[in-house]
Amino acid sequence: MQAIKNYSRLVKFEHTLFALPFALIGFFLGVTGSESKLSWKLFVLVILCMVFARNAAMGFNRFLDRKIDKLNPRTSKREIPSGVIKSKHALLFVIVNSLFFITTTRFINHLCFYLSPVALSVILFYSFTKRFTALCHFILSLGLAIAPVGAYLAVTGTFNWVPIYIGTIVFFWVSGFDIIYALQDEEFDKENKLKSIPSYVGKKKALRIAVILHTISAIVVILVGIVASVGWLYWAGAFVFISLLTYQHTLVKPDDLRKVNLAFFTTNGIASVIYGIFVISDLLIN
């Protein structure tokens, strides 16, 4: 039981809430937009794919960053640098979850199975990017933006523009809040030659970039509502989501980062869940 808790903390399992609601939106878009019937077996398989993929990505990130995390006072108590989990065990955890992810897609459909190594490569590649590009935030957001598209493919086996629009919302939303989170390590990243938007342009300009990215995300939320001819439930969820995007920017200032965790974890987690609930409800009712 303690081992489960340790690995759950390693991958911050509770943060699955960021991408899972959007994956479920993609799933129910597939169910309601095609002749496919709701399959609870498929629903469980999609959830498992999300969990396995995220476990692999987060576990690999912690494994690859173990020496960096040990040097950073903010991260030195994480499971690997503190010795709670051995690095070789963390790597085994990554390999097992990667194999589970690919195997699970085999029970969904051929397209998902063939594309699974591509999706896995994207989410694992992110962990390398902070070493050579300040655009690392966008690789992370791309990995999460795949979720609604993948879930839609799981149901229909075909591509469609609507889940790609949903993925676009995720892309700009995640890249924006990841830049806000990276503000905490601006000085550390500079000292250790790690790349990020804050370490490249400074806190003030980084926050402005995050505002621009979240503005684009909000615009796409509105455009999806217009293009898809949605009902009032969608607009209610969109209002809450955009309001929370705006609210998190009132919490963080270049010279005051005390509320970064509130902005990053709580606000974005709530925004994702509420938007997901309202959008899925709108799909099922209409």
Given a cut of 70, whether residue 9 has pLDDT beyond it is: yes
Reading the block at residue 203, the tokens are 């806190």
Q: Using one digit for the tens of pLDDT, what is the confidence trace for 97-124?
A: 999 999 999 999 999 999 999 999 999 9
The C-alpha atoms of residue 55 and residue 205 are separated, in whole angstroms, by 32
The confidence score (pLDDT) of residue 14 equals: 67
The confidence score (pLDDT) of residue 252 equals: 87
CATH number of domain containing 163 = 1.10.357.140
Reading the block at residue 229, the tokens are 């001819």
Task: Share the mean pLDDT of the chain.
Answer: 92
Which structural domain range is residue 135 located in?
Answer: 2-285
The confidence score (pLDDT) of residue 262 equals: 72
Looking at the structure of the chain, the number of domains it has is: 1
Distances (CA, A) of 167 to 58, 142, 144, 172, 185: 20, 8, 8, 9, 27
The confidence score (pLDDT) of residue 17 equals: 72
Given a cut of 80, whether residue 15 has pLDDT beyond it is: no
The confidence score (pLDDT) of residue 111 equals: 95
The confidence score (pLDDT) of residue 257 equals: 83
Average pLDDT, integer, range 170-180? 95
Per-residue pLDDT band for 134 (boundaries 50, 70, 90) equals: very high
pTM of the model: 0.94
Average pLDDT, integer, range 189-208? 94
